[in-house]
Structure 1
Amino acid sequence: MTVLDTRPVPTAYGTARLLAGVTSGRTAGVARHRAHHGEQRFHDQATLAGLADSVRLLGRGGAAFPVGVKLRAMPSGAAVQVLVNGSESEPASMKDRTLMRLAPHLVLDGALLVARALGTHHVTVVVHDAASAAALRSAQAERRDAAGVRILHADGGFISGEVRAAIRGLSGGPAVPPGRRVLPHVHGVDGDPTFASNVETFAQLALVASLGADRFAEVGSPDEPGTTLLTLVGDVPHPGVVEVPTGLPISALLPDQDVRPRPVLVGGYHGSWVTDIRDLRLDRPALRAAGLPLNAGVVARLSPDTCALGEVAAVASWLAGQSAGQCGPCFFGLPTVARDVHSLLRGDDPGAELARRVAQLPGRGACAHPDGSAMFVRTALTALADEVEAHRRHGTCGRPWRGELPS
Structure 2
Amino acid sequence: MTMLQASRVDLRVIGEPRLLSGLDHGRADRHRHLSTHGAQPDLTRADYTKLAEAVGLRGRGGAAFPVALKLADLPAKGIEAVVVNGSESEPVSRKDRLLLTLAPHLVLDGATGLARALGAPHVLIAVHDAEAAMSIREALMERDDGLAIEVRDTPGRFVAGEARAVLSVLEGGLAVPPGRRVLPTRKGYHRRPTFLSNVETFAQLAVLARLGSKRFSSTGLISEPGTQLLTVDGAVQRPGVIETPIGVPLEAVMQFSGAAAGPVLLGGYHGRWLPHSGGVVLKRPDVSSGIILALGTDSCPLGEVHRVSQWLASQSAGQCGPCVFGLAALVDDFDRLVKGDPSGWHDAERHLGLVPGRGACAHPDGSARFLASALEVFGEDVRLHLSSGSCGRHVKGVLPVPRGAW
TM-score (ref. length: structure 2): 0.92
- What residue identity is the alignment partner of 1:11? R
Q: Is the 8 A contact 2:263 2:296 kept in 1?
A: no
Question: What SS does the aligned partner of 2:168 have?
Answer: helix
Question: What SS does the aligned partner of 2:353 have?
Answer: helix
* Residues in 2 aligned to 1:162 and 1:170: alpha-carbon distance in whole angstroms: 12
2:399 is the counterpart of 1:399: no
Match of 1:189 in 2: 189
Which structure 1 residue ranges, 5 or more long, are not aligned? 1-6
* Residues in 2 aligned to 1:32 and 1:146: alpha-carbon distance in whole angstroms: 22
* Residues in 2 aligned to 1:135 and 1:76: alpha-carbon distance in whole angstroms: 33
2:211 is the counterpart of 1:211: yes
Which of 336, 351, 356 aligns to 1:362? It is: 356
Match of 2:366 in 1: 372
Question: What SS does the aligned partner of 1:63 have?
Answer: coil
* Residues in 1 aligned to 2:24 and 2:147: alpha-carbon distance in whole angstroms: 27
Deviation of 1:390 after TM superposition, in Å, equals 2.4
2:339 is the counterpart of 1:341: no
Over aligned residue pairs, what C-alpha RMSD do you find? Answer: 1.9
Report how many residues are paired. Answer: 392
* Residues in 2 aligned to 1:10 and 1:373: alpha-carbon distance in whole angstroms: 29
CA shift in 2, pair 1:145/1:192, >3 Å: same
CA shift in 2, pair 1:102/1:256, >3 Å: closer
More off after superposition, 275-284 vs 29-38: 275-284
Match of 2:320 in 1: 327
**Where do 4+ consecutive residues of structure 1 move more than 3 Å?**
76-79
Q: Is the 8 A contact 2:133 2:153 kept in 1?
A: yes
Equivalent residues in 2 for 1:57-72 (5 A)? 57-72=57-72
* Residues in 2 aligned to 1:249 and 1:156: alpha-carbon distance in whole angstroms: 32
Q: Is the 8 A contact 1:75 1:118 kept in 2?
A: no
Deviation of 1:393 after TM superposition, in Å, equals 2.8
TM-score (ref. length: structure 1): 0.92
Match of 1:3 in 2: none
Match of 2:383 in 1: 389
Match of 2:51 in 1: 51
Question: What SS does the aligned partner of 2:184 have?
Answer: coil
2:14 is the counterpart of 1:13: yes
More off after superposition, 394-403 vs 85-94: 394-403
Match of 1:252 in 2: 252
Which structure 2 residue ranges, 5 or more long, are not aligned? 1-7, 402-406
* Residues in 1 aligned to 2:150 and 2:139: alpha-carbon distance in whole angstroms: 13
More off after superposition, 66-75 vs 49-58: 66-75
Equivalent residues in 2 for 1:8-157 (5 A)? 8-24=9-25, 26-77=26-77, 79-145=79-145, 148-157=148-157
* Residues in 2 aligned to 1:355 and 1:261: alpha-carbon distance in whole angstroms: 28
- What residue identity is the alignment partner of 1:145? D
Residue-by-residue CA offset, 1:231-283 (whole Å, 9 max, x unaligned): 111123531110000011111112499x9752111111111001254332112
2:301 is the counterpart of 1:308: yes
Q: Is the 8 A contact 2:154 2:169 kept in 1?
A: no
Q: Is the 8 A contact 1:86 1:198 kept in 2?
A: yes
Identity %: 49
